[in-house]
Amino acid sequence: MTTLSVLLGLDLAGMDEEEEQTPTPPPKPKETAPPPPKEEDLPENKRMALKEKELGNAAYKKKDFATALKHYEEALKHDPTNMTYVSNQAGKN
């Protein structure tokens, strides 16, 4: 171990003393994102958009892509600010 420390240029004796003198700082708490708003807290148009999206997802799982696309288009009409509905249309075409 001594030979290796000399070859690497490390002072193992000094490292032991430094470790004892410098306490490690406590880990920082993880920043958590606020929970998404509950459906009942959303405006009517966004609730309707979510319902259309869920209907579209159900149709997509049944491989009824035409129906799924119609639901995603309706969802986008209700909430044009949510790009999820646009990406659903793009990914499902």
CA 64, CA 75: separation in Å to the nearest integer?
Answer: 17
Q: Which of 89, 36, 32 is nearest to 60 (CA)?
A: 89
Write down the pLDDT at residue 10. 78
Tell me, what's the pLDDT at 86? 85
> Domain ranges in the chain?
38-93
Q: What is the pLDDT of residues 15-40, one digit of tens each?
A: 655 445 566 777 777 777 666 667 66
Higher per-residue confidence, 88 vs 93: 88
Domain 38-93 matching CATH 1.25.40.10: the answer reads yes
Q: What is the 3-state secondary structure (H, E, C) of the chain?
A: CHHHHHHHCCCHHHHHHHHHHCCCCCCCCCCCCCCCCCHHHCCHHHHHHHHHHHHHHHHHHCCCHHHHHHHHHHHHHHCCCCCHHHHHHHHHC
Whole-number Å distance between alpha carbons of 79 and 58:
19
* pLDDT tens digits for range 46-66: 999 999 999 999 999 999 999
